[in-house]
């Protein structure tokens, strides 16, 4: 199903370092295929930075990932950066629907509409932490209360954010169900600056699932080939999208 949907418009890569982080993250996701559990395929730079396909008794579903990094480790993602919401606005009716739609989270939530039941979850993955305001929304949505004032804005504006994709307004429960698919993976070690955290984690996974004992150089070679393969896939999809 993933290939039958037209990808949303995507801007160019933010920076070379973010591109490298995307490659490392997609490579780590690819290694999860070795576990032989649910994950059976990883798509690079198709619909989002990468997409994991899961297979179970009900068929296929997809997990969409956006990978965003910051050079300053002490920076926390703000409400405005992630959701397009202003924390200083007292009257929540004045929040901009357009900014919510075009935010990182808004672009992720679009998948929950386009792919409907086939969307398992949407994930914002980063090397730093979220601000307190963001964490409050995350917790509110996770436990299903939707009592946070910003969570209420997301519920209220959801249908307005995707008028082209939603032909009939979703009910409040349907909207909440889609918002509940939003996940955050923060302070991810293999996305930190440099490869010091990535290589041992990746090599450990390769060694764990190898059927033979691998030497250090052999694990290193496999890892380099995996990164090369992922990078080629990303470059190919990127070229096709902008052809």
Token pair 């993933």 is at which residue? 2
Neighbours of 69 (CB within 10 A): 21
Give me the residues paired with residue 182 across strands: 122
pLDDT of 92-142, one tens digit each?
999 999 999 999 999 999 999 999 999 999 999 999 999 999 999 999 999
Q: What is this structure's pTM?
A: 0.83
3-state DSSP assignment of residue 183: strand
Give me the residues paired with residue 185 across strands: 125
pLDDT beneath 50: ranges in the chain: 12-14, 236, 238-243
CB proximity list for 96: less than 8 A, separation 6 or greater: 84
CB proximity list for 143: less than 8 A, separation 6 or greater: none
Residue 2 to residue 24: CA distance in whole angstroms: 22
Helices (H), 7-95: 16-31, 79-83
């Amino acid at each position: 199903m993933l290939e039958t949907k037209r990808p949303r418009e995507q801007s160019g890569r933010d920076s070379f370092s973010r591109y490298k982080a995307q490659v490392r993250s997609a490579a780590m996701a690819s290694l999860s295929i070795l576990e032989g559990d649910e994950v059976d395929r990883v798509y690079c730079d198709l619909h989002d930075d990468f997409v994991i396909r899961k297979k179970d008794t009900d068929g296929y579903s997809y997990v969409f990932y956006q990978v965003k990094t910051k050079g300053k480790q002490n920076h926390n993602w703000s409400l405005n950066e992630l959701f397009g919401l202003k924390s200083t606005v007292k009257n929540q009716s004045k929040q901009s629907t357009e900014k919510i739609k075009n935010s990182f989270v808004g672009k992720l939530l679009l998948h929950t509409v386009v792919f409907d039941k086939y969307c398992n979850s949407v994930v914002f993955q980063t090397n730093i932490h979220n601000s307190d305001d963001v964490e409050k929304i995350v917790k509110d949505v996770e436990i299903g209360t939707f009592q946070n004032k910003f969570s209420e804005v997301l519920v209220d504006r959801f249908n307005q954010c995707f008028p082209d994709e939603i032909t009939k307004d979703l009910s409040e429960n349907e909207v909440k169900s889609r918002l509940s698919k939003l996940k955050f993976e923060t302070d991810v070690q293999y996305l930190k600056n440099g490869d010091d955290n990535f290589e041992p984690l990746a090599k450990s996974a390769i060694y764990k699932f190898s059927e033979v004992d691998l030497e250090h150089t052999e694990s290193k070679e496999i890892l380099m080939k995996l990164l090369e393969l992922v990078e080629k896939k990303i470059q190919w999809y990127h070229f096709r999208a902008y052809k």
